[in-house]
Amino acid sequence: MRISSKKKYLFFSSLMVSLVFFTYVYLHNFNDDNSKINRTDLVVHFIDVGQGDCILVQARDKNLLIDSGSNSSSKKVIHYIKKLKIKKIDYVIATHPHEDHIGAMDDILKNFEIEAFYAPKVTSSAKDFTNLVKELANQNKKISILKSGMHIKIYSDINLEVLSPKKDTYENINNYSPVMQLNFNEINFLFTGDSEKVIEEELLLNHINLSSQVIKVGHHGSKTSTSVDFLNKVNPMYAVISCGLGNDYGHPDSNVIKLLKEKDIKIFRTDKDGNILLYSDGKTLLYSTINNK
């Protein structure tokens, strides 16, 4: 049976209309998602600094930086922040004086206007820490001591609560890392630095509300952190691990990954996903990754 030219025309016309319609729907939904992202009040950037930590929190027109990554990541972090057209960082937190967390911090101080600087009450004779202290002195800036019970009120509805450290006598310098919960209406982020299971146990014993949709997994996913009981208490949807590709420490630990998977928690890793961004309007969460590897 021969198909007339008219029927062929109608068939292909109908097919093209359908393709245009579905293409429009797809692009419309995609753009709609992005428009929601662009309108959010909170963006949390887990910046890929290799084996280290660096978290940038954009809360409306205020900025909070937690750690800076190592010396080798200095140019990358500065470029990343400047690309966002940020000139002023309202709050800077150095979680503890290890190079992979504060190595680039003196350069951050030199390149951006800093309003307030926070760190736990612990010192080090390491060059990176002394460089940081010297630059703070050059700018006549003081360190505000971070400890349990403190609040950094970014806005009336966006608050950073410091849950640890509770003591000044930890043997392991990692345990001075403040565990902090960022609260924004119905959404919580838990930042853990390099704190280990001894801190997790302290928090559990004190019956602190740890419930959070997002957890920055402690100590780069090391086996020294992320106990079952602690993870159960946090009960996150998303887990972010900041670590370097092929690092010498074997981070993240396979048992930690197994535990996260068993609890059906979506895992993001800077060594695999690159820069990880989470967006919130205080009720919902969206995410995206930027992988330049």
Show the low-confidence residues of the chain (pLDDT under 50).
1, 6-38
Q: Are residues 268 and 149 in the same domain?
A: yes
Query: How many domains is the chain partitioned into structurally?
Result: 2
Q: Are residues 113 and 163 in the same domain?
A: yes
Tell me the whole-structure pTM to 2 decimals.
0.87
Q: Are residues 130 and 258 in the same domain?
A: yes
**DSSP letter (8 states) at residue 14:** H
Is residue 204 a contact partner of residue 184, using CB atoms and an 8 Å limit? no
Find the domain containing 263 and state its range. Answer: 41-290
Q: Are residues 11 and 88 in the same domain?
A: no
Q: Are residues 174 and 268 in the same domain?
A: yes
CATH of the domain at 221: 3.60.15.10
Number of helices and strands in the chain (H, E): 9, 15
Question: What confidence tens digit (pLDDT) does each residue in 25-63 have?
Answer: 333 333 334 444 445 799 999 999 999 999 999 999 999
User: What pLDDT sits at residue 40?
Assistant: 72
Q: Are residues 63 and 31 in the same domain?
A: no
For tokens 């150095």, what's the residue? 94
Q: Write the CB contacts of 3 (distance below 8 Å, at least 6 apart in sequence).
A: 11
Q: Are residues 29 and 84 in the same domain?
A: no
Question: What confidence tens digit (pLDDT) does each residue in 193-228 have?
Answer: 999 999 999 999 999 999 999 999 999 999 999 999
User: What pLDDT sits at residue 292?
Assistant: 78
Q: Are residues 22 and 131 in the same domain?
A: no
Residue type, 289: T
Q: Are residues 34 and 50 in the same domain?
A: no
State how beta strands 113-119 and 88-93 pair. parallel
Q: Are residues 82 and 166 in the same domain?
A: yes
User: What pLDDT sits at residue 293?
Assistant: 67
